[in-house]
Amino acid sequence: MALMAGLRVPARALLRSGCWLRGAALAGAEAAAGLGAGVRRFGSQRVLVEPDPAAGVAVVKLKSPPVNSLSLELLTELVISLEKLDNDKTFRGIVLTSDLCGVFSAGLDLTELCGRSPAHYAEYWRALQELWLRLYLSGLVSVAAVNGASPAGGCLLCLSCDYRVLADSPSCVIGPNETRLGIVAPFWFKDCMVNTVGHRAAEQALQLGTLFPPAEALRVGLVDQVVPEDQVQSTALAAMARWLAIPDHARQLTKSMMRKPTADRLAKHREADVQSFVSFVSRDSIQKALQTYLEKLKQKG
Amino acid sequence: MALMAGLRVPARALLRSGCWLRGAALAGAEAAAGLGAGVRRFGSQRVLVEPDPAAGVAVVKLKSPPVNSLSLELLTELVISLEKLDNDKTFRGIVLTSDLCGVFSAGLDLTELCGRSPAHYAEYWRALQELWLRLYLSGLVSVAAVNGASPAGGCLLCLSCDYRVLADSPSCVIGPNETRLGIVAPFWFKDCMVNTVGHRAAEQALQLGTLFPPAEALRVGLVDQVVPEDQVQSTALAAMARWLAIPDHARQLTKSMMRKPTADRLAKHREADVQSFVSFVSRDSIQKALQTYLEKLKQKG
Amino acid sequence: MALMAGLRVPARALLRSGCWLRGAALAGAEAAAGLGAGVRRFGSQRVLVEPDPAAGVAVVKLKSPPVNSLSLELLTELVISLEKLDNDKTFRGIVLTSDLCGVFSAGLDLTELCGRSPAHYAEYWRALQELWLRLYLSGLVSVAAVNGASPAGGCLLCLSCDYRVLADSPSCVIGPNETRLGIVAPFWFKDCMVNTVGHRAAEQALQLGTLFPPAEALRVGLVDQVVPEDQVQSTALAAMARWLAIPDHARQLTKSMMRKPTADRLAKHREADVQSFVSFVSRDSIQKALQTYLEKLKQKG
């Protein structure tokens, strides 16, 4: 499909490149306790997919305790789930949410970026690029039901969706807080920020590493709606209905017109971006900063 | 003039290419009932021009009943009127408005896009490009007095002006509703939207085909002022006075600096854009969608 | 440093090119009356630098009566002060403000642009480019404490900082009012405006030459905070503390990511921009307009 033209690395290549999917639950389906008769969950160990074929919608739930850090495994399973849904004509939209309490996604898994080999960093970054390109350009309507904190890479996931509903709770902060950890968001995250909140607000938030509480996130345009925590999913589904009222082909062409130039900036220079990341994260100073941060987290936790 | 550098097809070429101007009223002038002595209307059958030479302003009124659909004839007459005013040093500004009740312009004339030859689609699209380039880059100050509904191509006309005043009436909706008809706005309409309301609001409005009621149009920045219906024209003229307080040459160079990069994206690839449109609109699925829509309109009307 | 890659003309080249620094106060330091023990002012005749080494912050005060017009001397002294601070590891941030009452900076010094040689116009424009590139890309945190009127080039200085605090006084207007004088802001000022307030607000303000009173400047996003006049500097220092809480290297790389594409548009075409300015300002019509304006100012003053 035209919308996918930017994507060069199919999910199976990610698998081949060494990411082992524990449980091999990909093709399987499990009975879903608490769902109506005939509704079945599928997905993988860390990504639950709750399909509603009648509505043409699947709810995709991140479930990688304790905080949905984007490990290589979670990235890969998410890419595979999205690829599957993108290619299944039953589905026209997805709601992306968290199965955990209080956190949507904590962003990049820093243990993947600390004390590993350059080859590992490269593999990890390719998987992150892949996830972003797939989600940002997906032909499916994507609504983020942000039911928990969503810093850094978690924020990136949200911004890559078509619409964002955030839970109105003080813990549900969202934003690009990379600089606070001494690291830097990639240019394509920056582009997403600029496209969503404009150049000035992006510049300030990215430099200051701002985590926005719900009211501020709404005011700056980082999310589209803020609702009580127990209405996040129903509000996301109501938004989905508005998007599904539009004929897919016209909506998809329009989405591509809006997003392809941004995605192409990465798609055309993926390897350079990988090399730039690997060389940045391999620096002694960055490794030390990450190590210090991880040790602090351990002491806390 | 530098501002016009992007324009390669003069209005007479459009005429030569087969568009017959009924009434040949172009050069003529008619006594204008209800206007002060010495003030004369000119224009063509579908475009009334009410000049106020003392003020250096002309009011350009669309009059193509029932809904000012942008037929090939209306496009051509409008291009010719604009070219004439652009080249006449008497005039420094135009107010673009509708002579009909309740509608500014219904946008593209779908009967031009349905069951016709590829050559016709190409001719039509070239005329639309021409109108947009001329209006968007005009050295004249252009104020849209939006006294009626302004969907799709009607919205494009408004966004191509320097300033927009919208009537505060529930029927005066404005926005890019193309996707609702199963079609897609061209990239230069998208660029206009992004330039006016920013990337995020443009993305959402273009995908959802949003028609904004006046208060929402003002909030999102699609228009600059919303006033009671009977004050639209006077407010537009008051805005015009503020723009005319600026020396023309400095204002024109600044306008060109802001708009030429956007216009050039089309000007440099006009034929590719024509071919892309012709091939899109010639698709069976699009023809069927347009036919169904036109039949619905007939049944309603 | 990577952030400075766009800068080709070091400050000493400006000096060599003929700008004489009266007082040769550059390297000197003077006892600062009214400052605490051990705190010393340095700087040049027109640029006072009040360092606070403990905080890592220097307050840079423009002092070129009567209105801090950006003369070639002031531009050059400011570039040299910034270069010095940029290269001194004692400092992580600067507060840019005015030592005069009621005016931050009146913008370009029109006497430099009127009745002089093309070579002088070229030298002047190169110095302005140099100042902008250095301030816009500075690795230092820069906060503008805008304690007076800030039209045209004054506004450009403010927009080139990271954060702007404006005094809440009716005289403290700020904006790009070039067109009102019959001149045109350069494209890189336009880019700064677009990056700060978005395309639509920039287009309108630049064409109309709008000077925004404080409340309007805040609403449109031209400044970040408006506070009572006597709190401008303390508020600027409080903002500085928030920016200094971020590790420098991550903040600087992020700033560069946001700003380098904009700066590069000028950095790559500096000479063409100089030539374009020289030919514009040398026009008879522009010279006459400037002369008339200067004579009016004289009669007033």
The pTM assigned to this predicted structure is: 0.89
pLDDT class of B95 with cuts at 50, 70, 90:
very high
Q: What is the rounded average pLDDT of the residues C14-36?
A: 34
CB within 8 Å of C66: residues ≥ 6 apart: C100, C103
Residues A8-29, buried b or exposed e (16+ Cβ, 10 A)? ebebeebeeeebeeeeebbeee
Q: Find chain B residues with C-beta within 8 A of C177's C-beta.
A: none
Q: List Cβ neighbours of A220 (8 Å cut-off, separation of 6 or more).
A: A197, A201, A205, A212
> Which string of b and e fits B138-152 if b means at least 16 CB within 10 Å?
bbbbbbbbbbbbbbb
Chains that touch B (3 or more CB pairs under 8 A): A, C
Indicate yes or no: CB of A182 within 8 angstroms of CB of C247.
yes
pLDDT given at position C297: 85
What pLDDT shows up at residue C301? 66
Among candidates A194, A221, A243 on the partner chain, residue whose Cβ is nearest the Cβ of B208: A243
Amino acid A298: pLDDT: 86
**What pLDDT, in 10s, does the model give residues A109-132?**
999 999 999 999 999 999 999 999
Give the pLDDT mean for C198-206.
98
The residue written with tokens 């941030």 in the block is C93
Say how far apart CA C245 and CA A209 lie, in whole Å.
Answer: 10
Q: Which helix (H) or strand (E) holds C179?
A: none
Q: Among C132, C136, C145, C139, which Cα is nearest to C239's?
A: C145
Say what the pLDDT of residue B217 is: 98
CB distance C190–B258 less than 8 Å? yes
**Alpha helical stretches, state H, chain A:** 11-16, 72-87, 118-136, 153-159, 187-197, 199-208, 214-220, 232-244, 248-267, 270-281, 284-300
What is the number of residues in chain A? 301
- Distance from the Cα of residue A248 to its chain's centroid: 22
Contacts of B55 (CB under 8 A, 6+ apart): B237, B240, B244
The kind and range of the H/E element at C73 are helix C72-87
> Which residue, among A54, A218, A48, A225, has the nearest Cα to A145 in the 3D structure?
A225
A214-231 pLDDT tens trace:
999 999 999 999 999 999
Supply the pLDDT for residue C59: 98
Task: Please answer whether residues C202 and B258 qualify as being in contact, where contact means their C-beta atoms are separated by less than 8 angstroms.
Answer: yes
What is the C-alpha to C-alpha distance for residues C187 and C206, in angstroms, rounded to an integer? Answer: 11
Q: How many CB atoms lie within 10 A of CB A281?
A: 20
CA angle A56, A60, A66 (to 5 degrees): 170
In 3D space, the residue among C268, C300, C253 whose CA is nearest the CA of residue C2 turns out to be: C253
> Tens of pLDDT along B116-165?
999 999 999 999 999 999 999 999 999 999 999 999 999 999 999 999 99
* pLDDT, tens digit (0-9, with 9 covering 90-100), for C99-140: 999 999 999 999 999 999 999 999 999 999 999 999 999 999
Which chain A residues are closer than 8 Å to B178 by Cβ? Answer: 250, 254
Residue pLDDT, tens place only, B269-291? 999 999 999 999 999 999 998 99
The pLDDT value recorded for residue A40 is: 60
Q: C66 preceded by cis ω (within 30°)?
A: yes
- pLDDT of B6 higher than 70: no
Give the span between the Cα atoms of B286 and B269, in whole angstroms: 23
Rounded Cα gap, residues C113 and C19, in angstroms: 16
pLDDT band at A38 (very low <50, low <70, confident <90, very high): very low
Helix (H) or strand (E) holding A150: strand A148-151
Predicted confidence at residue B12, as pLDDT, reads 40
* Helix axis angle, A248-267 to A187-197, nearest 10°: 140
Q: Do B249 and C199 touch (CB under 8 A)?
A: no
Q: What is the mean pLDDT of chain C?
A: 88
C250 in contact with chain A, both atoms CB, cutoff 8 A: yes
Predicted confidence band of residue A143 (pLDDT cuts 50, 70, 90) = very high
Task: Identify the pLDDT of residue B14.
Answer: 38
CA distance B22 to B15: 12
Tokens matching residue A48: 């639950």
A279 contacts chain C (CB < 8 A)? no
**pLDDT recorded at residue B160:** 98
Identify the pLDDT of residue A36. Answer: 42
Does the beta carbon of A285 lie under 8 angstroms from any beta carbon of chain C? yes
User: Which residue out of C56, C153, C154, C209 is catalytically annotated?
Assistant: C153
Predicted local confidence at residue A21, as pLDDT: 32
pLDDT at position A148:
98
Point out the least confidently predicted range of A16-20, A293-297, B86-90, C54-58.
A16-20
Query: Quick check: C184 and B250 CB within 8 A?
Result: yes
pLDDT digits 0-9 by tens, A156-205: 999 999 999 999 999 999 999 999 999 999 999 999 999 999 999 999 99
Radius of gyration of chain B (CA): 18
Nearest C-alpha neighbor of B192 from the set C199, C188, A221, A199: C199
A33 forms beta bridges with none
The Cβ-side half-sphere exposure at B100, using a 13 Å CA radius, reads 19
Find chain B residues with C-beta within 8 A of C206's C-beta.
254, 257-258
Q: What are phi and psi of C242, to 5 degrees?
A: -65, -40
- Cα-flanking dihedrals φ and ψ of residue A9, to 5°? -105, 105
| Confidence at A249, pLDDT banded by 50, 70, 90 | very high
Q: Is A116 exposed, middle or buried (0-12, 13-18, 19+ CB in 10 A)?
A: middle
Q: B293 CA to chain C: closest CA distance, Å?
A: 34
Residue type, C273: D
Residues 6+ away with beta carbon under 8 Å from A13: none
Q: Residue C38: what residue type?
A: G
Question: Looking at residue B43, what is its pLDDT?
Answer: 73
Kindly report, residue by residue over B43-57, the tens digit of the pLDDT: 789 999 999 999 999
- Is A83 an active-site residue? no
What's the pLDDT score for residue B301? 66
How far is residue B31 from each of residues B34, B36, B39, B58, B93, measured CA to CA in Å? 9, 10, 8, 15, 22
How many CB atoms are closer than 10 A to CB B28?
A: 11
- Residue A195 appears among annotated catalytic residues: no
Residue of B nearest to A221 (CA): B200
Look at residue B218 and tell me whether its pLDDT is greater than 50: yes
Report the run of H or E that residue C61 belongs to, with start and end: strand C57-62
Tokens of A199: 């150049």
State both tokens at B68.
Answer: 């000012």
* Mean local confidence (pLDDT), A40-65: 92
DSSP string, chain B: -GGGTT--S-HHHHHHTT---GGG-SS-EEE-TTSPTT-EEEE-SSEEEEEETTTTEEEEEE--TTTTEE-HHHHHHHHHHHHHHHH-TT-SEEEEEESSSEES--EE-GGGGSS--HHHHHHHHHHHHHHHHHHHH-SSEEEEEE-EEEETHHHHHHHTSSEEEEE-STT--EE--GGGGT----HHHHHHHHHHH-HHHHHHHHHHT--B-HHHHHHHTSSSEEE-GGGHHHHHHHHHHHHHTS-HHHHHHHHHHHHHHHHHHHHTTHHHHHHHHHHHHTSHHHHHHHHHHHHHHHHH-
Say yes or no to pLDDT of C278 above 70.
yes
- The DSSP letter of residue C145 is E
pLDDT tens track for C85-101: 999 999 999 999 999 99
Chain C CB contacts of B251 below 8 Å: 179, 207
Q: Beta strands C47-52 and C40-43: pairing type?
A: antiparallel
- Whether C68 has a pLDDT exceeding 70, the answer reads yes
C190, C200, C207: residue with CB nearest B196: C200
Residue keyed to tokens 């026209």: A92
Residues with Cβ within 8 Å of A180's Cβ and at least 6 positions away in sequence, in order, are A209, C246
**C274 has pLDDT over 90:** yes
Give the dihedral sign, CA C100/C103/C105/C110.
Answer: negative
Is this prediction's ipTM beyond 0.90? no
C-beta separation of A60 from A81 below 8 A: yes
